Amino acid sequence: MQRIVQVSLNRNPWSIEVDAHARLEVYLSESAAALASDPDRDEILLDLEQAIAEQCKRRLPANATVISMAELAPALEEIGPVNPSSSASATPGSSTAASTPPLQQISQGAWLSGVCLGLARHLRLEVTLVRVIAVVLLFFTGGAALLLYGVLMMLMPFAPLDPQGPEPSSIPAKAREWTELLRAKLATLAR
Amino acid sequence: MITTSQQIAIRKGLLEFAVLKVVGVGSIYAADILRRMQETEFATQEGTLYPLLSKLRRDGLVVYQWQESELGPPRKYYQLTDLGREQLAALDQYWKTIDQTLQQLGRRSGLVTES
């Protein structure tokens, strides 16, 4: 039997197994990131929580009250990833010449977590240059540059994945997953 | 369903129009909007619909009202505003024009010969 935690979905308490809880937090933080520029982000997130609760409830066997992966995975599958609808949101990658690309971590094509790639896009520099600077900093400052990288990993939002782009390789994919989990944990603590 | 990239682009472009159509029938709850669209070319998901409804509301085309439900928390029921109805009528008209244009473009007699 798995450990069970309490979670609030659209202000209603639910019991959920830990692995499903982790999956849920990842979905919600990805949705929040996708809606970062949407003025109604919080309201949409609550609506999504409500939809998740209803979908899971419908799938729960009679007498069961604890949500597990068996309910959550198909529920999230049906609800689908958040597709921002804000007229202002530009698609990543197809940055228009006029506006500065947002400062985001880019998992696709990253070495570690995509911080350098994101900085390079934001500052319109060659990524190789940014990486060389990062490595030089690492040598000269010892641990400090690593710490800086960690802080940026926590602070920079992740760019939405480009469906036409390559799959992120295993290190950036893991880095993204862990960072999002850690953020979700911190967010729960802060509540 | 056959899905060429052109068809996907058309469906994507018309999704907002389709949602306005569904909401235009009468006050409706988001899950029922999805259900109405499910069997059609415009089948979509909460992850897409919710941000779209939010945008339509910000644009002043739809409004929602809370209604109690026996099955759980109160639900948002969406309906068109006057502006939304106007917009929908304009889109309907535009759609007809586009359809006629496409028919015409495909006809031989419409060819303009340069002299």
Considering only alpha carbons, which residue of chain A is nearest residue B74? A50
Average pLDDT over residues B73-91: 94
Compute how many other C-beta atoms are within 10 angstroms of the C-beta atom of residue B39: 8
B45 beta partners: none
Total of domains in chain B:
1
State the pLDDT confidence band at B111, using cuts at 50, 70 and 90: low
Q: How far apart are CA A108 and CA B84, in angstroms?
A: 40
CB contact under 8 A, B48 and A40: no
pLDDT of residue B64: 94
pLDDT of residue A1: 64
Compute how many other C-beta atoms are within 10 angstroms of the C-beta atom of residue B53: 24
Is any Cβ of chain B less than 8 angstroms from the Cβ of A44? yes
pLDDT of residue A95: 37
B69 beta partners: B72
Instruction: Look at residue B11 and give its three-state secondary structure.
Output: helix
Residue B7 covered by a domain: no
What's the predicted TM-score (pTM) here?
A: 0.62
Give me the domain span that covers residue B22: 14-101
Is any Cβ of chain A less than 8 angstroms from the Cβ of B60? no
Q: Which of residues 54-73 of A touch B (CB under 8 A)?
A: 54, 57
The alpha-carbon gap from A31 to the nearest alpha carbon of chain B, in Å, equals 8
Average pLDDT over residues A25-33: 93
Is any Cβ of chain A less than 8 angstroms from the Cβ of B52? yes
CATH number at residue B73: 1.10.10.10
Average pLDDT over residues B29-34: 93
- Tell me: the pLDDT tens digits for A9-23? 988 899 999 999 999
Average pLDDT over residues B96-112: 84
User: Measured between CB atoms, which of B30, B45, B76 is closest to A78?
Assistant: B45
Chain A CB contacts of B54 below 8 Å: 38, 40, 43-44, 85
Residue B79 covered by a domain: yes
Q: How far apart are CA A65 and CA A49, in angstroms?
A: 17
Tokens of A116: 């350098």
Alpha helices by DSSP H, listed for chain B, are 5-24, 30-38, 46-58, 82-105
Residue B76 covered by a domain: yes
The alpha-carbon gap from A173 to the nearest alpha carbon of chain B, in Å, equals 22
Chain B CB contacts of A38 below 8 Å: 51, 54
User: Measured between CB atoms, which of A12, A44, A54 is closest to B50?
Assistant: A44
Q: Which one of B35, B37, B50 makes the best mutation probe of the A interface by having the most chain A beta carbons within 10 Å?
A: B50
Q: How far apart are CA B20 and CA B25, in angstroms?
A: 9
pLDDT of residue A88: 43
Residue B24 covered by a domain: yes
pLDDT of residue B113: 58
Sequence-distant (6+) residues with CB within 8 A of B89 are: none
Residue B113 covered by a domain: no
State the pLDDT confidence band at B47, using cuts at 50, 70 and 90: very high
Task: Provide the residue ranges of all domains of chain A, joining segments of one domain with +.
Answer: 4-79, 99-190
pLDDT of residue A93: 37
Residue B4 covered by a domain: no
Considering only alpha carbons, which residue of chain B is nearest residue A52? B46
* Residue for token pair 């304009």: B90
The alpha-carbon gap from B54 to the nearest alpha carbon of chain A, in Å, equals 7
State the pLDDT confidence band at A97, using cuts at 50, 70 and 90: very low
Q: How far apart are CA A34 and CA A159, in angstroms?
A: 8
Tokens of A88: 């202002």
State the pLDDT confidence band at B112, using cuts at 50, 70 and 90: low
Query: In sequence order, what E strands does A10-136 have?
Result: 12-17, 66-67
